[in-house]
Amino acid sequence: MKVKNGFKLREVCGEHIIVAEGDENIDFSNIISMNESSAFLWEEVQKRSSFTVEDLVELLCGEYEIDKLTARKDATALASQWGVAGIIEGEDIPEMIAEKVGEEVGEEVQPSAEGLSQEQRKECGQTPKKGLFKRIFG
């Protein structure tokens, strides 16, 4: 895997966000926010020509007090999310979604809202997220 060109980590109002640089990449409806540990990993992988899930595991274990099983689960979910967001590229991006990672280690996971109507999603508390401007202004 490798970071796609044109995506940079910035801190805006205390939040770590990935922004696309260049006029052709401007799309304010898809701003990607990262927590402290994912921002740390992003900064580290930007320095490399390529990386693997195992590289992410080693970085996590070196920076935080975390066991390898938990680090691998988190790194796999994060790489998958980055792949879905389109900010990394490569043949080895994990295809599992974050919800399914927990299933592999026997954790309870929230049911997916995939395939439900908007009314059904509201009933189970899974409403679609609004875009940035809709959240702020509407």
Exposure pattern of 26-42 as b/e (b: 16+ CB <10 Å)? eeeeeebebeebbbbbb
pLDDT band at 33 (very low <50, low <70, confident <90, very high): confident
> Angle of helix 68-85 relative to helix 36-46, nearest 10 degrees?
70
Counting residues of the chain whose pLDDT is more than 90, the rounded percentage is 42
For residue 30 the two structure tokens come to 């898809």
pLDDT of residue 112: 39
| Extents of the domains making up the chain | 2-107
Put residue 125 in one of left, alpha, beta given phi > 0 → left and psi -120 to 50 → alpha.
left
pLDDT band at 19 (very low <50, low <70, confident <90, very high): confident
pLDDT band at 28 (very low <50, low <70, confident <90, very high): low
pLDDT band at 105 (very low <50, low <70, confident <90, very high): very low
pLDDT band at 119 (very low <50, low <70, confident <90, very high): low
Cβ burial of 55 (10 Å; 0-12, 13-18, 19+) is middle
Counting residues of the chain whose pLDDT is more than 70, the rounded percentage is 62
Q: Is the whole-model pTM more than 0.75?
A: no
For residue 14 the two structure tokens come to 């205390």
Closest CA to 43 of 31, 34, 52, 32: 34
pLDDT of residue 108: 36
Structural domain 2-107, CATH architecture: Orthogonal Bundle (1.10)
Rounded to the nearest 10°, the torsion over CA 114, 118, 123, 124 is 20
pLDDT tens per residue, range 46-92: 999 999 999 999 999 999 999 999 999 999 999 999 998 889 999 99
